[in-house]
Amino acid sequence: MRSRIDIEAPFKTRVKQAVADPQLADTLTRATLHLKEQKRLSLEELEAQRLRDQMRQMKAHTLRNLPELLEQFERNVAMNGGQVHWAEDADEANRIIGELAERHDVRKVVKSKSMATEEIHLNHHLEAKGITCVETDLGEYIIQLAAEIPSHIVAPVIHKRIDEISDLFADKLSMPRTLDPQALCARARVELRQEFLSADMGISGCNFAIADTGTVCIVTNEGNGRMVSTLPRVYVAVMGIEKLVPTPQDAFLQYQSLTRSATGQRVTVYLSMTSGPRRLEDVDGPEEFHVVLMDNGRSRMLADGYGESLMCIRCGACLNVCPVYRQISGHGYGNTYSGPIGAVISPLLSEEMARNKDLPYASTLCGACRDACPVQIDLPKLLLNLRHDLVSGRNMPGAERRAMQGFAGVASRPAAYQSAARVARTGTRLLSGFGDRNLRRLPPPLHHWTRHRDFPPMAKQSFREWWTKRSGTQGPAK
Amino acid sequence: MVDQAIRDAGTRKVSQARQRILDRLRQGLANPKLPWPPADAPPLTPGEHMHVATLRAEDAGLEQRFAAELEKLHGTSDIADSMVAARMFTVRKILEWLDDTGPRRVLAWSELNSWIPGLEESLFDRDVEVVVPESLDNPDTRGDLQEVRVGVTGVEVAFAATGSVLLKSTPGQSRSASLLPLNHIALIPGTLLLPNVETWLEQHQQDGSLGHAIRNSANLTLVSGPSKSADIESKLTLGVHGPKELHAVLYPAAD
């Protein structure tokens, strides 16, 4: 079954579609709570706060020195026999990879899971050139069979139940239906092994890269990352410019922070560290090694005050604690990056602002994401700043802007505020039939507000009235 | 001539992208009030990095901790008290894994005898062919090796606190031996077993060889347990792409 969420639809439509799916929130809640619990257990055994502080310091230092580290990384990749390419935006990255593929007469590409290549829609671009792209991460493979996009940074197929996957394998691979995950996995192994052995080019993302040594690191559990970086003739790693770490020690610190925060693992099964193409007389490994350093809006984020979001290590911990993510799923965000971090960076990447102006509002600002973040990124603050920038850019709908101006006028005059509050108290209690039921719909023109949210009936008395009655004084603050 | 002109144009464009990206970053960073704390964080100095996974007081020895950790990761191990026992454990495991239908061949690193003396002869005696390809470029060689069920490798170093082995690609040490077969056996002499990865990093840092240790081979891979996935409904599946079983043989460096 296809996801019921239309990625291209406007945000509010996507939210409606997500909320209308009775099983989606259950599936997501189960899966994210599982990941969250795994993370808690794996961090319990160590000084978790010290790890967060060291990560924060390392990432802050890295960002501060990013230009120099990028130059150092480039020199070291070249010394290892590899080649660095710089891409200002998605088009340029796609063009570079497309030209590499043409130069090497590539007909088939095998890919390991990469958010960076999702971000630039690389598969689409290569397929337009007649090149077959095969996603080899089990989850991504399922996503590709279903012609969907990933719905979670680390668990792309988190929104699908096993019976849906079984139906998909029956439909696309003519496999007898089964609810045994090991059987589905074994079938994927056989299908994909042939692809690995016959592909001309391997493409991966990059979890982090070491400036000191020119080394690209990818973190996987299945081994597909090793396959794509070992078997094809040409290996291309695509990375955002913020993925650098200065030293090998920093790399292993980030590795252990990433695995624990993402899936609660002490270590993943594989950490592959590639320093250039195969060396003289090596048995296997690619003949050529290319790194595409991609900006695509990142340097502008730094300049515009959103540099902190470039510390993100893409662990997905903020998704797993987010009440909004659980309701609307990754697809509700309509972008490669979902959850709180996605709500921040999706509007800022490339030219995506206009399409994503609603995303900064896809948050209750509860702060759980900030507490979960292994790098302590202040996501609520960034979301608020983004809302502020969007409003001052006059991107807000007219009715909402006028309503907010009206509210500001009333709220800044105590007498007006108190009378308005009295009206609202009586009104909302009338509408809720004097119960505690949330209001599904307010009368016009306020129905705009309740179209996408419930409104609680207000308390019988205001805090000031309660205080006066209780203490006999006129309230604490005058 | 024309080719050269196109190449030049390409190079110019590339260097433009490089320059523009670096310029924008430098402009952004020139803002004296960077909006994230700490503003001028010093780098973490070597030795300052915390040891994330550590040995516990109740760990009797590195071998026991390694075995316990690997078991949690769905791997298995034998702890041998002599080189002879190590050879016996290794051969026994390989024979157990080679089923009757498949070829009696293992895909291995070169010079297995340098890891455990007499291992190659022991396997030969039991009709097991040790395959050490010089190159895997030929599609026929690759196709042929698809049927090989067992891979046999040594390690660069192993870490007890996480049950991990570090594998280095060199001539004679293929990446494929630990990647393509359904079963992988890793030979770990006691001299190469360390408490955790941080200890290894610190050792190399102290003698100034860390950069070399990381980049003097095209590939280093840290392997912790058999290939697995939880992509389908968070349920564990093994052997997705890499080996479905990983067995470690731990043994003293010399008798």
Residue A351, number of CB atoms within 10 A of its CB: 10
Nearest chain A residue to B170, by CA: A282
Q: Say if residue A96 is in the same domain as residue A206.
A: yes
Bigger pLDDT: A303 or B211? Answer: B211
Compute the average pLDDT of residues A163-178.
95
Q: Say if residue A291 is in the same domain as residue A409.
A: no
Domain assignment present for A60: yes
Instruction: Specify the pLDDT at position B3.
Output: 52
* Angle at A185 (CA atoms; ends A183, A190), nearest 5 degrees: 100
- Are B53 and A222 inside 8 Å of each other by CB? no
Among A residues 309-368, those touching chain B with beta carbons less than 8 Å apart: 311
**Three-class SS state of A318:** helix
A58 touching B (Cβ < 8 Å): yes
A111-122 pLDDT per residue, tens: 998 999 999 999
Q: Say if residue A402 is in the same domain as residue A294.
A: no
- Are B38 and A60 inside 8 Å of each other by CB? yes
Task: Say what the ipTM of the complex is.
Answer: 0.94
Instruction: Tell me which long-range contacts A461-467 makes (C-beta under 8 A, separation of at least 24).
Output: A461/A425, A462/A418, A462/A421, A462/A422, A462/A425, A464/A418
B56 touching A (Cβ < 8 Å): no
Domain assignment present for A477: no
Q: Select from B219, B233, B237 the Cβ nearest to the Cβ of A274.
A: B219
Residue owning tokens 């690389």: A122
Domain assignment present for A26: no
Q: Which of A17-26, A219-228, B1-10 has the highest mean pLDDT?
A: A219-228
Distance from CA of A471 to the nearest CA of B (A): 44
Domain assignment present for A329: no
Contact B223, B158 (CB under 8 A): no
Q: What is the CATH number of the domain that holds A182?
A: 3.40.50.10420
Contact A309, A348 (CB under 8 A): yes
Q: Which of A154-158, A315-319, A330-334 has the weakest average pLDDT?
A: A154-158
Q: Select from A142, A224, A269 the Cβ nearest to the Cβ of B223.
A: A269
A304, with CB counted inside 10 A (0-12, 13-18, 19+), is middle
Compute the average pLDDT of residues B152-169.
98
B147 touching A (Cβ < 8 Å): no
Instruction: Specify the pLDDT at position B165.
Output: 98
- Are A215 and B234 inside 8 Å of each other by CB? no
Instruction: Specify the pLDDT at position A1.
Output: 41
Check whether A161 has a pLDDT greater than 80. Answer: yes
Distance from CA of A237 to the nearest CA of B (A): 14
- Are B239 and A51 inside 8 Å of each other by CB? no
Provide the pLDDT confidence category of residue A395 given band limits of 50, 70 and 90: very low
Instruction: Specify the pLDDT at position A80.
Output: 98
- Are B241 and A252 inside 8 Å of each other by CB? no
Chain B positions touching A142 (Cβ under 8 A) are: 231-232
Helices A66-79 and B2-30 pack at an angle, to 10 degrees, of 150
Query: How many folded domains does chain A comprise?
Result: 2
A207 touching B (Cβ < 8 Å): no
Q: Say if residue A71 is in the same domain as residue A209.
A: yes
HSE-up of residue B29 (Cα within 13 Å, Cβ side):
19
Query: Looking at A271, A298, A325, which one is the last position of a domain?
Result: A298
Provide the pLDDT confidence category of residue A203 given band limits of 50, 70 and 90: very high
Distance from CA of B236 to the nearest CA of A (A): 8
B130-144 pLDDT per residue, tens: 999 988 888 788 888
Query: Looking at A298, A316, A342, which one is the last position of a domain?
Result: A298
Q: Say if residue A107 is in the same domain as residue A226.
A: yes
**Mean pLDDT of chain A, nearest integer:** 89
Q: End-to-end alpha-carbon separation of chain A, Å?
A: 60
Domain assignment present for A117: yes
Q: Say if residue A184 is in the same domain as residue A294.
A: yes
Q: Say if residue A410 is in the same domain as residue A284.
A: no
Chain B positions touching A35 (Cβ under 8 A) are: 234
Chain B positions touching A68 (Cβ under 8 A) are: none
Q: Select from B36, B142, B201 the Cβ nearest to the Cβ of A252.
A: B201
Among A residues 262-281, those touching chain B with beta carbons less than 8 Å apart: 263, 266-281
Query: Looking at A282, A298, A314, which one is the last position of a domain?
Result: A298
Instruction: Specify the pLDDT at position A322.
Output: 94
Q: Select from A88, A136, A273 the Cβ nearest to the Cβ of B221.
A: A273
Chain A positions touching B158 (Cβ under 8 A) are: none
Chain B positions touching A165 (Cβ under 8 A) are: 232
B29 touching A (Cβ < 8 Å): yes
HSE-up of residue A27 (Cα within 13 Å, Cβ side):
23
HSE-up of residue A262 (Cα within 13 Å, Cβ side):
24
Instruction: Specify the pLDDT at position A449.
Output: 67
In percent, how much of chain A has pLDDT > 90? Answer: 61
Check whether A329 has a pLDDT greater than 90. Answer: no
Chain B positions touching A218 (Cβ under 8 A) are: none
Distance from CA of A227 to the nearest CA of B (A): 8
Domain assignment present for A32: no
DSSP string, A68-133: HHHHHHHHHHHHTT-EEEEESSHHHHHHHHHHHHHHTT--EEEE---HHHHHTTHHHHHHHTT-EE
Domain assignment present for A355: no
B233-248 pLDDT per residue, tens: 889 999 999 999 999 9
Check whether A409 has a pLDDT greater than 90. Answer: no
Check whether A27 has a pLDDT greater than 60. Answer: yes
Tell me the pTM: 0.87
How many residues in chain B? 255
Check whether A406 has a pLDDT greater than 80. Answer: no
Q: Which of A211-215, A426-430, B60-64 has the weakest average pLDDT?
A: A426-430
Nearest chain A residue to B174, by CA: A283
A138 touching B (Cβ < 8 Å): yes
Domain assignment present for A5: no
B21 touching A (Cβ < 8 Å): yes
Give the domain extent around A199.
Answer: 52-298
Among B residues 174-213, those touching chain A with beta carbons less than 8 Å apart: 174-176, 179, 197-198, 201, 205, 210-211
